[in-house]
């Protein structure tokens, strides 16, 4: 069977996932950038996929599954035994066993032995045989397919080798006298959610304009390998993949990728595309796909990167690396709702803005109000505030990236008005301090009020901004020199106002030290 990439991401990622499984087992195949060809039947491919899924679980995983099934009427005792999750109850390297055996029956036999021994010694209230355990293991191993295609093997009561046979039967069931829409080689069945990943009922735009799509057993089974192409973000629900219709690109962009947040994926893209640009002189578009694999509420987000947006990522290479290194734990905001806190992931927001050619200042202004509120709540030590996270220094750094991309503005403008914001913060401090003493609550309130004034001005007219700036200059004796004044234009005042708003909120290093010293003096005087 020869699998060609089609431009349909679900199908192509299944083919790439199958290629990875063949590589894992050292199985022979022919390939170039756009196809793989293998000499195996669908049922043989299916067994390899199940084996690979089994190898990615631990012995403890299957031990707990077996125990929960055997002792479902006494779950408390089972939970007590497995309470210490760090303990490895089953000393078995499943990946090594799977690679060596390459046969599901043999793997299950090897796995059942230590499980039987452990349960016989620790749960003696109920009699069971090793065959009972093998039958359950067949069920649990084959049913791993249901994590990929919902209800692919829907009969939860079947045990033993019949479980595998039922899955094989599903490949061939309901085949019609219609040619497969993907390979154009074999007869197929209509696509549904239990036969294809994110089936077309949800994403009709990617289905060749055809009213009905058919899939043959060969193409169906390859789709069960799709999750092998994913990089999981610290759990089994959130996954990402960088997609381009080229097997070599898919491998170079995704292989060995280890990230915990989608934003970190940009480093791999930047590194690879810089090499491609140097070698080929051009860049081709690609997509980042993010999956939320909840059976009840699955979700898929697309980030489409054109040549222009990839070049923008390359421009921001140093800033993005610093962002995901220095601010990695500060890239989240939380807004309270009736169901709890809704999470805002700024990594996703940045990626989405760049992918859609949206100016990053729009993102900054979108969350600046939350940042000011959050900072106020932090300073007052408010418990369970309506807004938390959204750090000022993170938004200021994102604003810096905006100035890098907007060449008409330039970094001189950013640096100059960032410095002016800090100067203005110092003037506020001077106006409130007497003999070196200052009421920090009053100071913080003044600063937040000042930042809000510039935030409002950034959303108003040019005249409104100039009125705000003039009032502030007079009130705090904070004049602006002619060089800075020449930068203030009708096409730049919003960027400038936002920069001042963020900068005036940013603490100076010496200010932090002074505040800590004051706290120490007060504590020592008690």
- Asked whether 513 and 507 are in contact (CB, 8 A), the reply is no
Query: d(Cα 264, Cα 320) in Å, to the nearest integer?
Result: 8
pLDDT tier, 311 (very low <50, low <70, confident <90, very high otherwise): very high
Flag whether pLDDT at 474 surpasses 50.
yes
Give pLDDT tens digits for 424-445.
Answer: 999 999 888 876 678 888 899 9
CA distance 108 to 110: 5
Q: For position 266, what pLDDT does the model report?
A: 93
pLDDT of 361 > 90? The answer is yes
CA proximity to 261, closest of 366, 331, 363, 312: 331
pLDDT of residue 207: 53
First vs last C-alpha separation in the chain: 82
pLDDT band, very low/low/confident/very high, at 459 (cuts 50, 70, 90): very high
CA 312 to CA 316: how far, in whole Å? 6
pLDDT one-digit tens code per residue, 241-288: 999 999 999 999 999 888 888 889 999 999 999 999 999 888 999 999
Confidence check: pLDDT of 514 > 60: no
Mean pLDDT, residues 208-237 taken together: 87
Beta-bridge partners for 388: 334
DSSP 423-483: HHHHHHHHHH-BTTB--HHHHHHHHHHHHHHHHHHHTS-HHHHHHHHHHHHHHTT----HH
Alpha helix locations (H) across 282-345? 307-315, 317-326
Structure-block tokens of residue 513:
């030290």
Give the phi and the psi of residue 222 in degrees, each rounded to 5: -65, -30
**The pLDDT value given to residue 104:** 96
What is the dihedral angle through the alpha carbons of 96, 97, 102, 106, rounded to the nearest 10 degrees? Answer: 180
CA gap 111, 250 in Å, rounded:
34
Look up residue 463 and give its two tokens.
Answer: 């005249």
pLDDT classification of 522: cutoffs 50, 70, 90: very low
Element containing residue 10 per DSSP (H, E): helix 9-25
Burial (CB count <10 Å: 0-12, 13-18, 19+), residue 150: middle
User: Residue 202's pLDDT band (boundaries 50, 70, 90)?
Assistant: very low
User: String of b and e for 108-126 (b: at least 16 CB within 10 Å)?
Assistant: beebbebbbebbeeebeee
pLDDT at 86: 52
Most confident of 141-155, 201-215, 224-238: 224-238
Query: CA angle, 424 as apex, 423 and 426 as ends, to 5°?
Result: 65
Beta bridge partners of 240: 231, 290
At residue 152 the predicted structure's pLDDT band, cuts being 50, 70 and 90, is confident
For residue 16, the number of C-alpha atoms closer than 13 Å in the C-beta half-sphere is 31
| Residue 337 Ramachandran class (φ > 0 left, ψ -120 to 50 alpha, else beta) | beta
Please report the pLDDT score of residue 236 as a whole number: 83
Rounded to the nearest integer, the mean pLDDT of the chain is 89
Distance CA 25, CA 49 (A): 10
Res. 84 pLDDT band, cuts 50 70 90: low
Model pTM score: 0.87
> Does 35 have pLDDT greater than 90?
yes
The strand pairing partners of 242, in sequence order, are: 288
pLDDT of residue 201: 53
pLDDT score of 203 = 45
Torsion angle, CA of 435/436/439/445, rounded to 10 degrees? 110
Res 69 pLDDT > 90: no
Structure tokens at 505: 């909120």
Q: Shortest CA distance to 362 belongs to which of 343, 380, 345, 349?
A: 349
Q: What is the pLDDT of residue 216?
A: 96
Q: How many CB atoms lie within 10 A of CB 477?
A: 9
């Amino acid at each position: 069977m020869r699998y060609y990439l089609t431009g349909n991401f679900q199908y192509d990622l299944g083919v790439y996932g199958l290629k990875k499984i063949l590589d894992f087992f050292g199985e022979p195949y022919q390939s170039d950038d756009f196809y793989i060809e293998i000499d195996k039947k669908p049922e043989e491919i299916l067994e390899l996929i199940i084996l690979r899924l089994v190898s990615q679980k631990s012995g403890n995983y299957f031990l707990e599954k077996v125990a929960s099934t055997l002792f479902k009427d006494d779950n408390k005792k089972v939970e007590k035994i497995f309470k210490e999750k760090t303990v490895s109850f089953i000393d078995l390297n499943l990946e090594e066993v799977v690679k060596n055996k390459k046969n599901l029956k043999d793997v299950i036999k090897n796995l059942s032995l230590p499980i039987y021994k452990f349960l016989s010694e620790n749960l003696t209230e109920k009699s069971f045989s090793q065959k009972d355990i093998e039958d359950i293991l067949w069920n649990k191993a084959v049913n791993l397919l249901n994590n990929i295609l919902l209800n692919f093997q829907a009969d939860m009561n079947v045990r033993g080798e019949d479980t595998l046979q039922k899955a094989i039967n599903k490949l061939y069931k309901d085949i019609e006298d219609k040619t497969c829409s993907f390979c154009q080689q074999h007869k197929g069945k209509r696509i549904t959610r239990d036969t294809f990943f994110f089936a077309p009922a949800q994403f009709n735009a990617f289905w060749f304009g055809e009213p009905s799509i058919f899939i043959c057993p060969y193409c169906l089974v390859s789709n069960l390998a799709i999750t092998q192409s994913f990089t999981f973000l610290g759990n089994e629900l959130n996954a990402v993949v960088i997609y381009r219709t080229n097997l070599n690109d898919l491998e170079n962009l995704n292989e060995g990728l280890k990230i915990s947040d989608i934003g970190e994926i940009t480093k791999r893209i930047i590194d690879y595309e810089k090499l491609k640009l140097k070698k080929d002189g051009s860049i081709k578009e690609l997509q980042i796909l993010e999956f939320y694999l909840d059976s009840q509420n699955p979700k898929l987000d697309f980030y489409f990167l054109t040549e222009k947006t990839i070049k923008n990522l390359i421009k921001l290479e140093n800033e993005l690396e610093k962002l995901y290194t220095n601010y990695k734990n500060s890239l989240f905001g939380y807004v309270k709702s009736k169901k709890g806190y809704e999470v805002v992931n700024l990594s996703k927001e940045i990626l989405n803005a760049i992918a859609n050619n949206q100016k990053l200042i729009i993102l900054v202004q979108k969350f600046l109000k939350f940042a000011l509120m959050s900072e106020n709540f932090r300073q007052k030590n408010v418990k369970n505030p309506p807004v938390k996270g959204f750090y000022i220094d993170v938004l200021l750094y994102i604003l810096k990236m905006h100035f890098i991309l907007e060449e008409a503005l330039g970094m001189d403008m950013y640096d100059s008005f960032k410095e002016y914001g800090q100067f203005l913060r110092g003037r506020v401090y001077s106006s409130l301090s007497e003999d070196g003493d200052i009421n920090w609550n009053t100071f913080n309130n003044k600063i937040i009020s000042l930042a809000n004034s510039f935030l409002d001005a950034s959303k108003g007219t040019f005249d409104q901004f100039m009125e705000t700036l003039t009032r502030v200059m007079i009130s705090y004796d904070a004049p602006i020199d002619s060089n800075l004044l020449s930068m203030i234009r009708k096409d730049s005042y919003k960027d400038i106002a936002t920069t001042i708003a963020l900068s005036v909120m940013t603490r100076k290093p010496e200010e932090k030290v002074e505040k800590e010293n004051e706290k120490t003096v007060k504590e020592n005087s008690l």
